[in-house]
Amino acid sequence: MVRAMGVAIGFALAAAGLGASAGAADLPDDAAALQRAIAGAEAREGATGTGLLPLLDRLAQLRFEQGDLAAATEADRRGLTIAIAAFGADSPHAAEAMTALARAELDQLQYLDAEGLLIAAETIVSARLGPDSLKLIPILSGLARIAVARGNPVDADRRIERAVSLTAKYPAAVSAEQLRVLGAALGAKHKFDQGEQTLEQALAEDRAAGGDSLETARDLSALGNLYLRADRFSDALAPLEQAAAIDQVRLAPTHPRIGDDFNDIGIADEGLKRTAAARLMLAAAVRLFESGGAQANSRLAFAELELARVDREAGNTAAADRLFRDAQHILNAAEDTERKRERRV
């Protein structure tokens, strides 16, 4: 098991500008080789050849690990274009590519784009593979997550219950990823017992398959966030620190996911009344998100709001006010952009 607390704090200091984390140093060379392979496939098959699909999938993964979420999304978007051209817009292949692209959009908190893709994927899978297809689990869970974020509990419940029924119907065929997505959705809806059981199962399967992998880190993060929602701050701290330790070995040092880890640990520390530790982690999250540019804006705002609350409780009113004003400016701008895009849709 990767050491958790010491590594997490060490990397928090690195993100705060006091050092540099290791890991992912060889990714640029891998990316260059991958781009050459893509160019070769394009020369052989053309811009929409199906041989590009596994290469683009790997490129999306690589760009994600490097922290370039926009480039990862573009790779997934190109994969969807190829899948539609090769197999048809209403094919299961296209639905799978839509689901992958939606996951990338959700990584950037782009709920409107993700929702349209998931609704289309749900329609295709239901029509072509049947209403009991296991491929519906991540689709339904993603839509439930969006419904929770938008304050639509009725729709979230409906999606989650369908996903749960599919999991129960074919338990041996459900993947760890599907369990993780479902468990996170259950936690977001405060169905804590079901969510905890589901996430523990996903974690056990991913640990057995890959040890301290990125998949394991996502299970741990989801489990820790479920405990945060349940106000079980002491329980949350260990899985969140373990997720942070894994992410910092396997992701680029300024990856938004690492900022998410710091933010979550800070919330757990705050819940445990460990004010100094909470402030250290939340300040590290803010600095990391500030280094990430526009793609981290919403994350930055949420971290600033958490840090503002800690500062205000500690009597640092001026600092808290500055953080609150900046967070509100970011969130208001994001809301205005979302409204404009909804009107265009």
81-92 tens-digit pLDDT: 999 999 999 999
Q: In this predicted structure, what is the pLDDT of residue 340?
A: 62
19: pLDDT confidence band, cut at 50, 70 and 90?
very low
Token readout for 60 is 């999306």
How far is 336 from 329, CA to CA, in rounded Å?
11
Q: In this predicted structure, what is the pLDDT of residue 116?
A: 95
Token readout for 194 is 């079901």
Q: In this predicted structure, what is the pLDDT of residue 18?
A: 36
- pLDDT more than 70, % of the chain: 88
Q: In this predicted structure, what is the pLDDT of residue 296?
A: 55
Q: In this predicted structure, what is the pLDDT of residue 178?
A: 87
Give burial (CB, 10 Å; 0-12/13-18/19+) of 343.
Answer: exposed
- Locate the domains of the chain by residue range: 27-131, 255-345
Average pLDDT over residues 187-210: 93
How far is 31 from 24, CA to CA, in rounded Å?
11
Q: In this predicted structure, what is the pLDDT of residue 181?
A: 87
The answer to whether 44 and 51 are in contact (CB under 8 A) is: yes
210: pLDDT confidence band, cut at 50, 70 and 90?
confident
Token readout for 297 is 């804006």
- pLDDT of residue 332 exceeding 80: yes
End-to-end CA gap in the chain? 47
Q: In this predicted structure, what is the pLDDT of residue 292?
A: 73
| Fold match between domain 27-131 and domain 255-345 | yes
Q: In this predicted structure, what is the pLDDT of residue 343?
A: 55
pLDDT, one tens digit per residue, over 119-173 is 999 999 999 999 999 999 999 999 998 998 888 888 888 899 899 999 999 888 8
What is the average pLDDT score of the chain?
Answer: 87
Q: In this predicted structure, what is the pLDDT of residue 295?
A: 52
* CATH architecture entry for 27-131: Alpha Horseshoe (1.25)
How far is 70 from 134, CA to CA, in rounded Å?
28
Highest mean pLDDT among 6-20, 41-55, 141-155: 41-55
Which CATH number is associated with domain 255-345?
1.25.40
Encode 71-106: b = buried (16+ Cβ within 10 Å), e = exposed: bbbbbbbbbbbbbbeebeeeebbbbbbbbbbbbbbb
Look up the pTM and report it: 0.82
For 34-43, 70-79, 335-344, which range has the lowest pLDDT when averaged over its residues? 335-344
How far is 237 from 181, CA to CA, in rounded Å?
20
- pLDDT of residue 234 exceeding 90: yes
